[in-house]
Each structure stands twice: as structure tokens, then as C-alpha cells.
Amino acid sequence: MTKKISHWGLGVLLCASLLSSCQRNAGDQADLLVYNANVYTVDDQFAKAEAIAVKDGKILAVGTTNDLRKKYKATEEVDAQGKSLYPGFIDAHAHFVGYATNQREADLVGTTSFAEVVQRLQAHRKEYPSSAWLTGRGWDQNDWQVKQFPTKDTLDKLFPDTPVIIERVDGHASLANQKALDLAGITTSTPVQGGKIEQQNGKLTGILVDRAADQVVAKIPTPTVAEYTQVLKEAEQNLFAVGLTSVVDAGLPKSAVNLIDSLQKKNELKIRVYAMLNPSKENRDHYFKSGPYSTDRLTVKAFKVYADGALGSRGACLLHPYTDRPGETGFLLQTVQEYKDLAAEIYKTDFQMNTHAIGDSANRVILQIYGNLLKGKNDRRWRIEHAQVVNPVDVPLFGKYSILPSVQPTHATSDMYWAGERLGMDRLKHAYAFKALLQQNNMIPLGSDFPVEHINPLYGFHAAVARQDAKNYPKGGFQMDNALTREEALRGTTIWAAFANFEEKQKGSLEPGKVADFVILEKDIMTVAPEELRDVKVLSTYVNGEKVYGKK
């Protein structure tokens, strides 16, 4: 029997249908729809998709082009034309503020001799003749034919009345001229803890290793807020151009954190920043009382501590002497008791302790200090930054105490030419052991340590999977048993980096509810030939669903 529906009933059904349609259409609005893309979600299943919908700065949906274009009406639609789309890249260890301020210093990266360093300094001085100081960064004596630290003699002759200090590429050694040393009050009898003032025949050479340079750096005039703001904006654009949407800035003062926060709140700075604080008394007094701080673009939840220096300047603290300097083992920058006290202090708070440790002795000391507090498995996510040389006996401690090794793949390919000279071939086998470290917690966050290395995360991606330099040397890769797979390398610079910052629920993968930070590349880094990886170009970068880099 067929039921008849009255006109009144039809009207009710029609209204109900229209109401449902209106509600669906209202709920299916999107600000942005990117479709026809090769989407790597980097979720737990490492699933692929074709399209993403964005609303209010967050991922609304991920799916097929057909389904999402049917379901959502977007204010803006972007046809990706089959290009690959990834979560925004996260640099798990960098120096954003340092990189920004370096833009006004002499660029000494890639110099092949000290003579070339001097030429660049002279050119920089001509460009900025009124600057009170002459500063530069990036020299590396290991790239020169004479692989020895330079001396200040030439700088004294050329710049007798201008204080000069130039940092080595790793930031753990500097060369200062006599004018700078005089201003800092440094003499042959100046005491220093956690550093070294080099001398030859009872005279200063100008080389200051690690904390020995602090007295000179303290004399350099601080940039104005306007100058800081300008260089941060310029630096941000460079980062967006290589696909970075988040950076971990390792070791900031409260003043820098406040400036970044104010610029972000005024929408003058759009990149996301995870700030590691330096453990100054000011920072400890303020943040231990106030606790971690976070906004939609800034998180302050960690303290950055230095255990030792760098391998290239022989400041890394080793268990046994340097092979090329049998009388030296490097040094810790503070006493073991000071590290114990600081760790105990941080442990009582909700902050991470993230410690720079490069030598095997430094790594052992910090791992043991962490372990005595952490006891066993935990979710404190304390980190060791760099973890370059770790004795095999100590590697399991990362897993035992849930300690995250935060590494920089390009360090391996930058150091591989001379690391064996410092360590000897037996010890070299236990250096840059990314795969072994990954296996401890089934993850490994990746960074660059820029400006020590280049800002481009694809350089690190290439170094992680191919273990080769820009010229694809060495053939077959450097210690390939510790290479990462492409999936591991991508996770390392997205979701694992986010996890290391307690931010895995907000970003690091393309899933509904997470921030709409993503990057579109011209080629698929998961399939392109290894030798092409470093040259893959970024087509566009989005933060909060807003295009911050690419053709408008």
C-alpha cells in the first residue's frame, strides 16, 4: 500500500531537507583547498593522500581530490598539478637569532685559506666603515691547505684600532685581534674555566676556545630592537624559502624570547619557534617561577646546556686523547657537580634539559647525570644535542632512560674528511651513529645547527640517507650502516622533531585538527635520485594555511 504524503508533510520534509543542506554547506566551508597533490601525511601509517582542506589555520580534512572537492567549498583552491606536499619542515636544533644577526657580519663560510678570510674582512669593512667592531663567522682551518689555527698578527697590522673577532664555523673557537683582547682585558695570565686561551712562546695567538671568548663577546655592542627586528624578518624569509615552518632556537636569553613573542603577536614574524633558554640566572629565576610559556607560534619549555665544545676545535671532551694531539682530551665547560646541580634544579620543574654533548666523555657524563634523575622509562623527553661521539657501552642509556638524541646529519658529512684524524679509525666507527641512536627510542629528531651548517633541510635529508656531501662524495656513502631511510629522515624533520618539542599533537603531520603548515616541492624527495635531493626546489610554503613563500 502506497502512503500518501500531504502538502503540509511535503513542506515539512522540504524545509527539513533545505535546513540540512544549509547546515551541511555551512559546515563544509573551507578557507583553502589544495588538490591534485602527492600528499605525504606522515601520520602513524605514513599514509598518502591527494588533497587537504584548511579552515582557521588548521587541517580540516585530508583525502582524495574527488571527495574533498565535492564536500568542501573553499575560498581559495590550489591545483598542485601532481607536485609533492609534505608537513612543514621543522629544524630540531638551530640558532635562528644567531643566524639572523650573522647577516650583518662578514661571511667567512667556504674560505679556502686565511688569506681569503682576510680579503673578505677587508671587503666587509669597506661596506660597513662606521661599525665599531669588525665581526665575522664561518672559517674552518680544516678546509685550508695549512690546517692549523691562524694567529692574530695579520689582523693586528690591518686593523690596529678596530676590535676584530671572527668565529670558527662551529662557534666554539674564535680569533680576536689585540685591540679586542685589550678591550676584554685578556692577557697571558687570564684564568678561564671551560675554555682555552692559546699561547705560543708566552704570547697570545688570538685563538680563544669555547668560554675563553666570552669576555670579548661581552664587549660587542648589542643591536637595537629595530636592528634585531629587521634581521629576524629577513632571516625568516630565507627559512620559508627552504620549506622551514618551525625552528628550535637553542640557547636564548629572555630578551630575545620576548622580542620574538612581541613580533609574532603583531604578526610581523610568522615562523614558529621552540625556544631553548640559556641557563642564566635571569632565565632560571624568571622561568622556574613562571613555568613553561606557549602561544600558537612560540613555545618556551627547555633549557639549553653546554657540556663541551666541538670536535673541529678540539674542545669536545673525549674519554681518551685526540689522535692528532696525544696530550689533549678536550674539556667540560663546567664541573660535573655544576651539571648535577643544574639537572636536579631543572628536574623539579616542567622544563626539558637539552645538553650539547659531542665527545664520548661528555656524552657519558650527561647520560649518567640524566639517568640518576630519570631512573627509567619516562616522558620528560630530555635531550642530548649532537651526540656525535658515543661509546658503544653508553648507547643503550638513551633507550633505558628515554633520552632523545637530537642530531644534525650534515655534521657527519662536513666532518668526515678530518674526523678520523681527531678520533682515529676505531673511535670514528662510533661517531655519527644515527641508526644506532634511532633504535634506542625508535625515533630521532633531526636539525642542522644553522648557521654552523646551511639552513636548507634537504641538505640534511640528503646527508642522512646518502651520507654524502654536495658533490656526492664519498662514492657509496660514509659509514652507510648508520644511514637513515627516507621515511625515517622525513619523520626526523617533521613528526619526530615535533615530538621532541612536546608538540606532536599540534604539528609534524598532516592530520585533521593540526596546524596547516606544509610545503610543496617541485620533485618528490621520497623517490628522486639521491644525487638530486639537494637541488629540489621549494615551490611554496604555508604556515597556518597562509602562503608565506612562493608565487602569489
Task: Quote the radius of gyration of the chain (alpha carbons, Å).
Answer: 26
Q: Which pLDDT value is given to residue 458? A: 98
Task: Give the mean model confidence (pLDDT) for residues 15-39.
Answer: 68
Amino acid 100 reads A
| Upper half-sphere CA count for residue 513 (Cβ side, 13 Å) | 5
Q: What is the rounded CA–CA span in Å between residue 51 and residue 39? A: 7
Report residue 306's pLDDT band, with 50, 70 and 90 as the boundaries.
very high
Domain spans in the chain, listed from the N-terminal domain onward: 7-82, 90-94+223-506+515-550, 105-217
Q: Which pLDDT value is given to residue 21? A: 38
Task: Give the mean model confidence (pLDDT) for residues 354-375.
Answer: 98
SS3 assignment for 486-522 = HHHHHHHCCHHHHHHCCCCCCCCCCCCCCECCEEEEC
Q: What cell does 30 get?
A: 573551507
Grid cell 644534525 — which residue? Answer: 408
526: closest CA among 487, 468, 477? Answer: 487
Q: Which pLDDT value is given to residue 384? A: 98
Q: What is the CATH number of domain 90-94+223-506+515-550?
A: 3.20.20.140
Q: Which pLDDT value is given to residue 4? A: 35
Report residue 169's pLDDT band, with 50, 70 and 90 as the boundaries.
confident
Residue 16 has pLDDT above 70, yes or no: no
Q: What is the rounded CA–CA span in Å between residue 335 and residue 378? A: 27
Q: Which pLDDT value is given to residue 171? A: 86
CATH topology of domain 105-217: Diaminopimelate Epimerase; Chain A, domain 1 (3.10.310)
Instruction: Tell me phi and psi for residue 294, to 5 degrees.
Output: -150, 145
Task: Give the mean model confidence (pLDDT) for residues 233-256.
Answer: 98
DSSP 53-113: EEETTEEEEEE-HHHHHHH-EEEEEEE-TT-EEEEPEEEEEE-HHHHHHHTTSEE-TT--S
Report residue 7's pLDDT band, with 50, 70 and 90 as the boundaries.
very low
Per-residue pLDDT tens over the stretch 36-79? 999 999 999 999 999 999 999 999 999 999 999 999 999 999 99
Q: Which pLDDT value is given to residue 552? A: 66
Q: What cell does 512 get?
A: 585533521
Q: What is the rounded CA–CA span in Å between residue 329 and residue 331? A: 7
Model confidence, pTM: 0.88
Report residue 17's pLDDT band, with 50, 70 and 90 as the boundaries.
very low
458: closest CA among 526, 524, 518, 536? Answer: 536
Q: What is the rounded CA–CA span in Å between residue 164 and residue 160? A: 9
406: closest CA among 337, 343, 349, 352? Answer: 352
Determine which helix (DSSP H) or strand (DSSP E) holds 128, and give its type and residue range.
none
Average pLDDT of every residue of the chain: 93
Beta-sheet pairing, 538-543 with 404-406: unpaired
Q: Which pLDDT value is given to residue 24? A: 40
> 91: which strand partners?
247
- Could you give the strand order of the β-sheet that contains 106-107, starting from the edge strand earlier in sequence? 106-107, 134-139, 164-168, 173-176, 203-210, 195-200
Task: Give the mean model confidence (pLDDT) for residues 328-335.
Answer: 96
Grid cell 540540512 — which residue? Answer: 20
The alpha carbon torsion through 108, 112, 117, 122 (nearest 10 deg) reads -100
SS3 383: strand
Report residue 13's pLDDT band, with 50, 70 and 90 as the boundaries.
very low
Share of the chain above pLDDT 70, in %: 95
Report residue 15's pLDDT band, with 50, 70 and 90 as the boundaries.
very low
Residue 404 has pLDDT above 90, yes or no: yes
Q: Do domains 7-82 and 105-217 have the same CATH topology?
A: no
DSSP state of 187: -
Q: What is the rounded CA–CA span in Å between residue 452 and residue 475? A: 25
Q: Which pLDDT value is given to residue 161? A: 95
Per-residue pLDDT tens over the stretch 110-164? 999 999 999 999 999 999 898 899 999 999 998 898 889 999 999 999 999 999 9
Per-residue pLDDT tens over the stretch 422-474? 999 999 999 999 999 999 999 999 999 999 999 999 999 999 999 999 999 99
Q: What is the CATH number of domain 7-82?
A: 2.30.40.10
Within a 10 A sphere around the Cβ of 348, how many other Cβ atoms?
A: 9
Q: Which pLDDT value is given to residue 172? A: 87
